[in-house]
A and B are shown apart, each in its own frame.
Chain A
Amino acid sequence: MDFFFGLLQIIGVHTILGLSAYVVLQTGQVTLAQAGFFSIGAYVSAMLTVLAGWHIVPALLVAATAAGIVAGIVGFPALRIKGLMLVVATIAFGEFIRLFWFNFDYQIEKKGIVVGPQGGEGFKQIRFFPENGWSTLDVAIFIWVIVALIMLALWWTDRSRAGAVLRAVGEDELAAQSVGINLTAVKVGAFAAGGFIAGIGGAIYAHYTTHIEHLNFGVMLATFAIAYPILGGLRNVFGTLVAVIFIQGFLVEGLRFMGDWRNLLFGALIVLAMNVQPRGLIDERSVRLVRGLFTRN
């Protein structure tokens, strides 16, 4: 059962990470900095619970806010650039944050042991859950309540005018500006919201793995962050969830019996999926198909 809850935790955290990129991708910006914002959430929240002794909920909110602020600050200069330039610039910024943690050393003694982030060694002993007697089930429930809240908020946004505005900017920036949409506000807002969500994901991640280090937050994680919504489709939040379940649940865990052939299949399936469904697994066509199944009889 613990294996199952562990898997639920992973899927939950990756869904949050994917949703953080989803918001930014809707505005047509491809960002590879999400892993960096995720790491800010992880480190800041862990420092708050371990070093300052906070409860996880306020720690999580503060850490996410910090990540959101940094993301918003990145969003301003990133307004000037698009496409491949933005991809590389966000890689650079994400790597900067990761390397910042690589160089970040701050430890204090607590109850006889030295704790805190320790540069390349990482940040060990983030033991809020075990110290407070949370079982894996409790943690899984905690995570999924948050996932549900985030999904609900984004689902609501999608249906509101704000969501339509995000998409309008993603479709055609110039036309969006010309109908009165403030591009700066929308893009920076999307970046900040994406950073905030990534920060929440990072905070949870730090606490269920109990040990984080800079290597956890590399370019590959950033790539996964955008992979989920692109693979799932930007039509709605459920696409991202489906993609995470498909990748983390089915490809990574479900096909474990295949040994390392599984990883080969992983890459090949992404290539195949993008050829067959270029607008993501859940696009206009597949939605119509599913609706058709239910309405015909």
Chain B
Amino acid sequence: MDWLDFFQSITDGLLFGSIYALIGIGFTLIFGVMHKINLAYGAASIAGAYVSIAVAAYVPLPALVTFLIAAIASGAIALLIYLANFRFIPLASPLATLMATVGMLILIDEVVVHATDGMPQPYPALFADIYIEWGDFGLRGDLIFIFVLSLIAMVVLMFMLYRTRLGIATRAVAQQPVAAQLAGISLDRTNALTFVITGLLGGLAGAMIGASVGVLSPLLVVPITVKGLIVCVIGGLGSIPGAIVAGLAVGAFENFFLAFRGVTERDMYVMLLLFVFLVFRPGGIFSRSVARD
């Protein structure tokens, strides 16, 4: 095996993995606050990116603004998801919420298919013409851009969670919902805001997926959802640093297998490994011990 190729594929994977990290953070945040899964999250992320190209089709925009629009649109969709799937369904019916988000996933997916006739849409790439080389080793400009933008988003998120009132309220609700309510924090508003925050992150991730793949397609929704869930559980439910590490790891791992094993067999072993991992390390990579309860 060529070491250079090895490093090249791992590096590309790590850079792309930052997108997975963002999606994983979205799942993990919602789980942390509400102890629920939002299966429509991946769909909302891709849909946000779609909205941004729809806007860009009418008004010529710099690519960065397109990204921003994607984030905002996805934030709005996330709020809608909260209202339609979480707000009014009783806490005691977790299956109902789960199913409702599946319905929402299908709905969003179909809206996208309906609006685009199912045709993949080209997405503007950023810095795609830049390529930094050291001999045979190189870095794609668009991937570096994605990585940097993800890092910025994560830093902003961390700042918000640990330094602002809103963030502290969110964490309070995640840890002690009843006590938080007694302290005057509105559960409903905090939950809604958490959804908007995850939506913003997701929209950004959706736009970056579009930019790095080159096209947007409704076919991206299910794989992104599955990847996001995987990252979220490998990282440990509710752990943001875990999701970041897991996202990068999944990106690197995937790219490595892609480069050296070919697609068909790769995924099969990856899935088996994942199953084994989850069974024997249900707390994620950062869990201290394997406890049964």
Q: Tell me the A residues contacting B by CB distance below 8 Å.
A: 25, 30, 77-78, 80-81, 84-85, 87-89, 91-93, 95-96, 99-100, 102-103, 119-120, 218-220, 223, 226-227, 230-231, 260-261, 263-264, 266-271, 273-275, 278-279
What are the 4 A-B residue pairs with the smallest beta carbon separation, nearest first? A267-B107, A270-B103, A267-B106, A278-B96
Q: Are B114 and A96 in contact (CB under 8 A)?
A: no
Residues of A contacting B145 in the complex (Cβ-Cβ under 8 angstroms): none
Q: Is the CB of B100 within 8 A of A100?
A: no
Q: Do A96 and B271 touch across chains, with their CB atoms under 8 A apart?
A: yes
Alpha-carbon distance between A151 and B203 when the two chains are bound, in angstroms: 44
Q: Do the beta carbons of A264 and B99 come within 8 Å of each other? A: no
Partner of B111, one of A96, A227, A264: A264
User: Do A264 and B222 touch across chains, with their CB atoms under 8 A apart?
Assistant: no
Residues of A within 8 A of B84 (CB): 271, 275
Please tell me if the beta carbons of A87 and B104 are within 8 angstroms of each other in the complex.
Answer: no
Q: In the complex the two chains form, what is the Cα distance from A176 to B222 in whole Å?
A: 36
Segment 75-125 of B: residues with Cβ below 8 Å from A = 84-85, 88-90, 93, 95-100, 102-111, 113-114
Also in contact, A78 and B95, with CB within 8 A (given A91-B229, A264-B114): no
Q: Which of A30, A78, A99, A273 contacts B98 (CB 8 A)?
A: A30
| Stretch of B63-71, B154-162, B194-202, B261-269 with 4 or more beta carbons under 8 angstroms from chain A | B261-269
- The reply to whether A270 and B99 form a contact with Cβ atoms under 8 Å apart is yes
Q: Is B275 an interface residue (CB 8 A)?
A: yes
Flag whether B279 is at the interface (Cβ < 8 A): yes
Kindly list chain A residues whose C-beta atoms are within 8 Å of the C-beta of B61. none
Cβ-based interface call for B143 (8 A): no
CB pair B106–A266 under 8 Å, yes or no, is yes
- Pairwise interchain contact B99-A260, C-beta atoms closer than 8 A: no
Whether the pair B98, A102 counts as a contact (CB closer than 8 A) is no
> For the complex, is B230 an interface residue (Cβ under 8 Å from A)?
yes
Q: For residue B223, which residue of chain A has the nearest CB?
A: A219
**Contact A271–B271 (Cβ < 8 Å):** no
Most chain B CB atoms below 10 A, which of A91, A119, A120, A273 = A91
Closest to A174 in B: B293
Q: CA A226 – CA B103 in complex, angstroms?
A: 12
B205 contacts partner chain A, Cβ-Cβ < 8 Å: no
Contact: A96 with B93, CB < 8 Å? no
Which one of A80, A264, A273, A274 lies within 8 Å of B97 (CB-CB)?
A: A274
A119 to B262, CA, bound (A): 14
A88:B278 contact, CB within 8 angstroms: yes
**Closest Cβ of chain B: how far from A134's Cβ, in Å?**
34
Q: Chain A residues near B268 (CB, 8 Å)?
A: 96, 99-100, 102-103
